[in-house]
A and B are shown apart, each in its own frame.
Chain A
Amino acid sequence: MSSTQPPRRIAVTAPRRNRTGGWSARARAEDLHAQPRLGQVYVRSLVRDQLRLSLGVLTVLTVVLGGLPAAFALAPGLRTVDVLGVRLAWLLLGVVAYPLLVGAAWFHVRYAERVERDFTELLNAPGSGAGPAHDGTATGDAPGPGAG
């Protein structure tokens, strides 16, 4: 899917300007493409870390929210329990669920950004051999020298 196709898709993917200073808003990582094997290793580890984080939060979500109906089904006594004058089911599903969801989202945003930060630091670490080219000709952060 190169951009040489006729304009079926409107070409709004290009950045209009650099929004936050030195970097552009779109990834054009041709250089990582140039070294497919190394690039793959790095990106696969990034993807794996992010997926592990997401699946972790998703599992908690599934167990907590998905477990509620099961708990009510298996322990009918819970169905009529009152807490603070409110039926437990109403309290949990009507009120408590929302702060939990927001909390899980906050946790995920925080750690997903940390994973990305660690990844960019790894690439840019001096002496790792994986830093970006400093001569201004090779562009990007391809880990290791040489073209594919």
Chain B
Amino acid sequence: MNPALGFTALAVVLVATVAVGVYGLRLSRATSDFYVASREVSPLWNASAIGGEYLSAASFLGVAGLLMAYGVDMLAYPVGYTAGYLVLLLLVAAPLRRSGAYTLPDFAEERLGSTAVRKVASVFVAVIAWLYLVPQLQGAGLTLETVTGAPRWAGAVVVAAAVTGVSAAGGMRSVTLVQGFHFWLKLTAIAVPAVFLVLAWRSAGTPSLTAPDVPRFPRTTAVDIDQRVTFDVTAPVTITVSGGLDGTSYGMEHAPGGGQRLVRVRLVAGAHTAAAGSTLTFPEGVPVPHKAGTEPATGARWASPLSGAGGRGHPLYAVYSVLLATFLGTMGLPHVLVRFYTNPDGRAARRTTLLVLILLSGFYLLPPVYGALGRIFAPQLLLTGQTDTAVLVLPQITQGGEAGRLLGALATAGAFAAFVSTASGLTVSVAGVVSQDLLRGSTRGFRWASLAAAVPPLVMTVATPGLPVADAIGLAFAVAASSFCPLLVLGIWWRGLTDLGALLGLVAGGGLAAVAVVLTSVRGTGGGWSAALLEQPAAWTVPIAFAVMVTGSLLTRGRISAAAVDRVMLRMHLPEEVGAQPEPGRPGVPVHRV
């Protein structure tokens, strides 16, 4: 990798972000500008901003990484991320916009008239946003480490600082501009190298992706180990080593010429551990040893659905749980919902969502290209376990010279755009909730709250080793699907929801999902049913949340105030033109605006 180009890409993204942000700051003066960009954002720009905010590290890096390691079943993630917007459109978009609620806690209080539910909702907003921010910052650390060799915490700190600064400085307006810009940057950054990647694949004679063979090194490959890793060798192999392997340090005594000596080592079948900073050089054609915990899969198995390729158990359950979490979780993501407020009315909210779906669909066609071709061109990522970096390293592996470096820099810029835009969206929405609920909604409070939103996930990122990026995001979706999805769906469509029922459902569903997330993060991935249930909790926590919310509401039916419910339902579902007051001297209400 070329550190200079990596730093340049990072600097360009940050400078452009700050520049657009400052431009936005000049435009935002009143408090309402800060929060919702005055609702005067054009539909395409708003849709781009939603897309830019939504395409996080999980989409830009994580999907390709999971596909590369675990095969076709992982397509459930991108399909689910997109379908989540469809479900949002079907059940939530227009009524939520019409409710006038700016955040989820606003919605809870407005619909149920309960400050207790509001408080619990605020807590869940913060929890979900933090869970979502951690993988963004992890991705930033991984990216900076991959392209520049900087320590892992550095990337996380840079992104957290940039995001806090931008959101504290400009609020929603600048963030909207920044994110619209980031969407197109990300699309370019993943599309252009993908074209070259496919060309490289064709010029290599289109090697088969579905061959009945495990991944092999296509040529003599030097594998740099950034993080200490344990891997399984399936057949004895002789490699050259520099650095620490299995507790022995090879070639570290300096050779007379001043450089390090390379030492040939015979690896027997079984587990081996390479230390950080070592370099292992494998000969051409040998099977790629996989990181412990990942099973080598033949191309045929990898390409086949429900095969459990890569060693993931219970593939059918996992696929359904991911689909459920992403279908229903999208509507509960705090940074997604805030965006709907920037639409002028419910109809515009629907149309914007349709546009978002089109933009996302275009984007998600591309990560599978990296996931599939990564197995051919960069199988060493299966050894280091850093398949999440496939999007970053593939352009440079397949294209030599300047072209490859430029493509690599473009991919790096896209990755940083992904971290910065998602993280700033999350920071703004958490800051909005914290400042409204704790700091009485002032602009100054919003600025302090931006800091409060970004610091805890930064600490968590630096302190924990972390899951694959897309898996970690999936857990945040699971918590959102188990808490806010039932609150929104039942709140919008069912008159019988009571404050107590909602409270119990939030705590039961969201709480169980959060416990599963914590357990998974602490003990890592594992085998067996208990691990599968904890790693993909949505399939059981979402039904529990709905069941508790409905049962609790039915048992506390007496708490419903029919008049209040009528008022809110009317407001959420009436088209704006009906609810409006006709202007004096003007008969009727203009309704035909088609």
Contacts and interface: CB of A to CB of B under 8 A. Distances in A.
A33 B568 CA distance: 10
Contacts of B587: 134
B579 A26 contact: yes
Interface stretch (B90-98, B135-143, B499-507, B527-535): B90-98
Interface in B295-354: 300, 303-307, 316, 319-320, 323, 341, 344-345, 347, 350-351, 353-354
Contact of A46 (B305, B344, B574): B574
A27 B83 contact: no
B83 A65 contact: yes
27 contacts: A9-B106, A12-B341, A16-B38, A16-B39, A19-B344, A22-B580, A23-B580, A26-B580, A27-B570, A32-B570, A33-B563, A33-B566, A43-B569, A43-B570, A46-B574, A51-B493, A54-B90, A57-B86, A65-B323, A69-B320, A69-B323, A93-B75, A101-B83, A113-B347, A117-B591, A117-B594, A124-B588
B361 A102 contact: yes
A144 interface: no
Interface string B356-376: 011001101100100000000
A82 B353 CA distance: 34
B100 interface: yes
Contact of B90 (A9, A21, A57): A57
B441 A1 contact: no
Contacts of B511: none
A90 B591 contact: no
B353 A120 contact: no
A89 B305 CA distance: 7
Interface stretch (B10-18, B29-37, B195-203): B29-37
Contact of B493 (A47, A87, A102): A47
Interface in A99-115: 99, 101-102, 104-106, 108-109, 112-113
B585 A10 contact: no
B452 interface: no
Interface string B568-580: 0111011111111
State the majority secondary structure of interface residues on A.
helix
A121 B591 CA distance: 8
A43 B579 CA distance: 11
A12 B571 contact: no
A140 B39 CA distance: 24
A10 B32 contact: yes
Nearest to B316: A73
Interface residues of B, number: 87
A136 B75 CA distance: 57
A25 B344 contact: yes
Contacts of B361: 98-99, 101-102
Given A46-B573, A99-B361, A109-B350, A12 B589 contact: no
Contacts of B220: none
Nearest to A93: B75
Contact of B578 (A22, A25, A69, A119): A119
Interface string A31-60: 011001001100100110011001001100
Contacts of B39: 12, 16, 25
Contacts of B86: 57, 61, 101, 104-105, 108
A23 B436 CA distance: 30
Interface in B429-468: 436-437, 440-441
A25 B576 contact: yes
Nearest to B341: A12
Given A58-B90, A106-B354, A124-B589, A43 B574 contact: yes
A29 B75 contact: no
Contact of B441 (A9, A80, A113): A9
A98 B581 contact: no
Interface string B80-107: 0011011101110010001010100010
A72 B581 contact: no
B163 interface: no
Nearest to B574: A27
Contacts of A73: 306, 316
Contact of A36 (B35, B563, B580): B563
B36 A12 contact: yes
B344 A32 contact: no
